[in-house]
Amino acid sequence: MDDCLIRNARLADGRAVSISIRAGLIAGLTDAAAPAPAVGQVLDAAGMLVLPGFTDGHLHLDKTMLGLPWRPHNAAPSVRGRIEAEKEFRRRETSPLAERGAVRLLEMALKHGTISLRTHVDVDDVTRLDHLAQILALRDAWRGRVDIQIVAFPQSGVLACAPVHALLDEAMGMGADLVGGLDPIGCDGDLKGQLDILFALAGRHGRGIDIHLHDGGEAGLSEIADIAARTRAAGLGGQVTISHAFALADADERQLAAHCALLREAGVAILSSIPGGERCPPIPALRAAGVPVFFGSDNVRDCWNPATVVGMAERMMLAAHRFGLRSDESLSGLLDHVTGIAHAVTGLGAGAVDVGRPADLLVFDVQHVPQLVVERSLPVAVMKGGILQAGVLSAAGEPATR
């Protein structure tokens, strides 16, 4: 399907257009009433909403148990306890990750409109580089359906787990896209030591960094400030993400303003899964301060979390609920966190429906974005590179399929 035309599409800004696609890219946007160019195939969106494909900015394909029988969830109360419990599970469960649930999770994500994602893959003394090798193979197998970006994630620590430093270096050579990290103070007890290693690896391999920060309070805020300073000094603006950043939820007004300025000026992004409890960063305030924030699923039925909230429409609704967003304007603004901002930070996804962008498109049977968010709608069609991957669209002249 090198040449395709989608007629009667409605964009997020309300425009009714025809979308011409050539060689997997959007070649033109014309008024729906204008004559359509001659193409190989004409599909009819029947006035439905067409959006760019969603990007899930934080997933753990190697952790999910969606392919296994239900496992009673007995999460330990601490991060360290959960890490050790998960490692013990992995010592016992040796089935391939694709069978354990990684493929099923990709299928679910695609059905919900996720066309690109960033996944963290554990590198430690139990899995070593085996899980990374499996996810690299899965990325190749899914190429053309879902774009997958991989973070080599040292969940057991960089200093606290002896083999990890060398394994992270090797992971970059194998094809991991980013260097990961975890709680330099809470996990390794050495802020400078862990960050020295991570930034050295990023510099040596020309990669970005995505670091989990669960540490709260003054410790977490000091980590955020140090990461921002190092990012600025290394010229890595736009290539560093802090996932979770729970400490920002603990900051007072003065501290929040100061740390937002540091993040904005350094070009450090924040990833949030919109967690429950009291540990969610104040996303509207971060956005108002110019800090790029994008959304992700995080854990999906694994040792950390029994839930299966996968779709980015669901994630937008969690943000709307969490922050009391009710106006059409505020609900519409959430779309940017899973499209435009996510694209700007990760390079994944089309980011927008525009000429020259990849024809990674979602079709929703709703009137507008606010309805999509509050109803957590599934797309009726998912298109990657101009090729339908899920759902259906009727050929022009045929009855609409909804």
Q: Which of 105, 113, 117 is closest to 53 using CA atoms?
A: 113
| Of the candidate ranges 71-80, 152-161, 345-354, 383-392, the one whose mean pLDDT is the lowest | 71-80
Is pLDDT of 336 > 80? yes
Q: Does one domain contain both 361 and 213?
A: no
Is pLDDT of 75 > 80? no
Q: Does one domain contain both 356 and 243?
A: no
pLDDT digits (tens, 9 = 90+) for 103-113: 999 999 999 99
Instruction: Give the whole-angstrom CA distance, residue 135 versus residue 102.
Output: 9
The reported pTM is 0.95
Opening angle at CA 303, ends 300 and 307, nearest 5:
35
What angle separates helix 130-141 from helix 164-174, to the nearest 10 degrees? 20
- Asked if the structure places residue 378 within a domain, the reply is yes
Q: Which of 346, 304, 319, 324 is closest to 150 using CA atoms?
A: 346
Q: Does one domain contain both 355 and 324?
A: no
Instruction: Give the whole-angstrom CA distance, residue 323 versus residue 386.
Output: 36
- Asked if the structure places residue 373 within a domain, the reply is yes
User: CB–CB of 372/339 below 8 Å?
Assistant: no
Burial profile 68-82: b = 16 or more Cβ within 10 angstroms, e = fewer: eeeeeeeeeeebeeb
pLDDT digits (tens, 9 = 90+) for 266-284: 999 999 999 988 899 999 9
142: its two tokens? 């899914």
CA 261 to chain centroid: 24
Q: Does one domain contain both 28 and 173?
A: no
On average, the pLDDT of the chain sits at 95
Q: What is the pLDDT of residue 1?
A: 44
Question: What is the average per-residue pLDDT within 304-329?
Answer: 95
User: CB–CB of 302/65 below 8 Å?
Assistant: yes
Opening angle at CA 170, ends 212 and 205, nearest 5:
75
CA 148 to chain centroid: 10
For the CA atoms of 316, 320, 326, 329, the dihedral, rounded to the nearest 10 degrees, stands at: -50
Give phi and psi for 91, each to the nearest 5: -65, -30
Q: What is the pLDDT of residue 398?
A: 54
- Asked if the structure places residue 273 within a domain, the reply is yes
Q: What is the pLDDT of residue 397?
A: 56
Confidence of residue 144 (pLDDT cuts 50, 70, 90): very high
293 compared with 84, residue with greater pLDDT: 293
Range of the domain at 365: 3-53+351-395
Domain end residue (candidates: 346, 364, 385)? 346
Q: What is the pLDDT of residue 319?
A: 97
Residue 126's contacts (CB-CB under 8 Å, 6 or more residues apart) are: 87, 90, 91
User: CB–CB of 334/373 below 8 Å?
Assistant: yes
Q: Does one domain contain both 40 and 126?
A: no
| Of the candidate ranges 68-82, 116-130, 219-233, 388-402, the one whose mean pLDDT is the lowest | 388-402
Confidence of residue 77 (pLDDT cuts 50, 70, 90): confident
Q: Does one domain contain both 149 and 232?
A: yes
Q: What is the pLDDT of residue 70?
A: 92
341: its two tokens? 């901002």
CA 234 to chain centroid: 25
pLDDT digits (tens, 9 = 90+) for 345-367: 999 999 999 999 999 999 999 99
- Asked if the structure places residue 383 within a domain, the reply is yes
- Asked if the structure places residue 174 within a domain, the reply is yes
For residue 119, give the CATH number of its domain.
Answer: 3.20.20.140
User: CB–CB of 58/297 below 8 Å?
Assistant: yes
- Asked if the structure places residue 401 within a domain, the reply is no
Total domains, the chain = 2
Torsion over CA: 2, 147, 104, 362 (sign): negative
| C-alpha distance across the termini of the chain, in Å | 22
For residue 11, give the CATH number of its domain.
Answer: 2.30.40.10
Q: Does one domain contain both 253 and 127?
A: yes
- Asked if the structure places residue 230 within a domain, the reply is yes
Q: Does one domain contain both 293 and 376?
A: no
Q: Does one domain contain both 265 and 372?
A: no
Q: Does one domain contain both 29 and 115?
A: no
Q: Which of 333, 58, 82 is closest to 186 using CA atoms?
A: 82
